[in-house]
Amino acid sequence: MAVKKSDLYSSLWALCDELRGGIDASQYKDYVLFMLFIKYVSDKYGDSDDLEPPITIPKGASFNDMAALTGNPNIGDLINTQVIQRLVDANEMLARTDFPDFNDPNKLGEGNDRVDRLGRLISIFSSPDLNFAKNRADHDDILGDAYEYLMRHFATESEIRLTLIHCKYASNGKVSGQIANFYEVCGQAQKSIVVKHEGLPKLATSLRKRHEKWAKQGASRVLKGDLKKLSYFVEKSRKAKLSFGVVIVQPSVSDATYTPAMAKLLANTELFLKRTTEAKFRFIGS
């Protein structure tokens, strides 16, 4: 039975992403893409009868040979020396720098953690559905399509999206759609560009202080996640691209109450945000 490529790739991504843990996507992708590469060339050319196959798979350097290393305490070093290096030596178009270091403790962990992570990553690509020799997907070029699918997701994971939401629709406790509220909330939105320029670490410090203040009163400003997750994004922001967005929410404004003055003020705010931070801007009314 043919396997839908979309189902195959989404399943592949979900498993790889779950295993990634705290490894930065920009680094982790190199390991996943190598697994995809070695699986493909092994399936396609490992037992090839071609006199001149596009790539030579030397003895001991196939995906199955790598899979046989699962559980070996030296699996990282053996992948480097017995699989990758042999592939490079047998194929002039390949270079050692094309592939990652599978024995890097900073990216893959130490000892048993690295052995377990690499074993599980290999098992993901050992799925019978991922059989490039038979090409069991609905269409051809499964390698190219799988590569593009994974790269799109890794690109998304290498970016942090920060969205600030501003809302003010009450003056002195009274709900209204007065233009004064618009001036205030648009002013807040424009001032928020400082968050983009100062970076996530300073914002995180401010959020922690507010959280600690609320915690003393038995409340929390965190609706989803925790401070540990916040620390993860702060650390990630040192290398990842920060995508900035601003949303203004005014529940008291509807089509019936929306005025040209409001439209002009929102347009100026959007233009200012785009020019200063390339922010994506949205307005939400009732």
Name the residue range of residue 265's domain: 159-199+237-284
46 found inside a domain: yes
221 found inside a domain: no
Q: Are 191 and 252 within one domain?
A: yes
Q: Are 19 and 134 within one domain?
A: yes
Q: Are 43 and 181 within one domain?
A: no
* pLDDT for position 82: 94
131 found inside a domain: yes
Between 192 and 143, where is the model more confident?
A: 192
Per residue in 24-59, is it b (16+ CB within 10 Å) or e — as a string?
Answer: bbbbbbbbbbbbbbbbbbbbbbbeeeeeeeebbbee
Dump pLDDT digits (tens) for 70-100: 999 999 999 999 999 999 999 988 888 888 8
CA dihedral sign, ordered 206, 207, 212, 216: positive
- CATH number, domain containing residue 19: 1.20.1260.30
Dump pLDDT digits (tens) for 98-127: 888 999 988 888 899 899 989 988 988 887
Q: Are 194 and 102 within one domain?
A: no
Among 19-28, 148-157, 238-247, which stretch is predicted with the lowest mean pLDDT?
Answer: 148-157
Dump pLDDT digits (tens) for 146-200: 666 666 655 555 567 788 888 865 556 565 667 777 888 889 889 988 888 888 8
217 found inside a domain: no
